Amino acid sequence: MSGELDELRHLVAEGCRVLAARQLAPGILGHISYRIDETRLLVRCRGAQERGLAHTTPQDIRLVELTGEPGAPGELDGYTVPYELPLHSRVLMRRPDVMSVVHAHPANVVAADLAGLTILPIVGAYDIPGAVLAHGGVPVFPRAALIHNSALGDDVADSLGERPVVLMRGHGLTSTGTSVQEAVLRAISVDTIASLSLSIVSAGGTLKPIGAEDLADLPNLGAGLNLGAAWRHEVSRLE
C-alpha cells in the first residue's frame, strides 16, 4: 500500500499544480482530496513552508481521517489539515461514487455567477465533456461562507446533489470525479464556459444553449481522449 499511496500523493500534488497553472486556484487557496477507504483520504495540507498550489509537492499531500485526525502515525507532523476539510469529508461520505474532490477559486466562475449567468451548454464540439456537463445543470450553493464544519459541508453536499460540480457563490467551485484527473478536468470545463459566457455578454451577446440535435450528435470520444490525452496535455503544460 505504501507504494500506491506514494503514487496517489504524486497525482494529487500534480492536480494542485494543474489548477494553479490554469489560474483556477491562484495563491495559497484551494485543495484536492482523494478517497483511500471508508474512513481516510489524501488531501493537500498546510505546512510551515507553504508556497501555494503552484508549488505543491507530494510531501504536502497527507493521509488523514475524515474527522481530520492523522490517518497514520506521523502523517500530520508539521502539517495541518485544510480549514475546509468538512467540504471534502461530507461530500465523500454522501457520494460513494466520488473518489476525488476539488475545491478551487476560479475568478471567472465567481464573476459569472455573481453577474447572474448560469453555466449553460453554449458550446458543442469546442468542449464535448463540458457541453454534456453543462447540459445536465450546474447547481449553485448560495452562501459565501467558509465550509469549516460538518453542517456547512452537508449544505454544500445537498446543493451538489448527484451532479458532478457545484458553484459556490462569492467563493469558487467544488468539482468531483472518479479520479483526480476527472475532477480537475471538470473544473477546467466549467471555468472555460464561465469565461466564454462573460466574453459573450461583455460583447453585447446573449447566451444561447446549443440545440438538442447538435447536443445529441456529439460523440463520446472515450476516456482515452477525454481523460488520458487531456490529462497528459495539462501535465505537459506544467513543464
pLDDT tens sequence across 179-200: 999 999 999 999 999 999 999 9
CA distances from 169 to 108, 112, 113 (A): 12, 10, 7
Residue 190 is predicted with a pLDDT of: 98
Q: Is the pLDDT score of 1 beyond 70?
A: no
Q: Is the pLDDT score of 136 beyond 90?
A: yes
Residue 100 is predicted with a pLDDT of: 98
The pLDDT tens digits of the residues spanning 84-102 come to 999 999 999 999 999 999 9
Catalytic residue among 84, 162, 213, 234: 84
Q: Is 234 a catalytic residue?
A: no
Among 178, 208, 176, 204, CA closest to 190? 176
The pLDDT tens digits of the residues spanning 21-60 come to 999 998 889 999 999 999 999 999 998 888 889 999 999 9
Domains of the chain (ranges plus CATH)?
2-238 (3.40.225.10)
What does the radius of gyration of the chain's CA atoms come to, in whole angstroms?
Answer: 17
The predicted model scores a pTM of: 0.96
Instruction: Give me 147's grid cell.
Output: 465550509
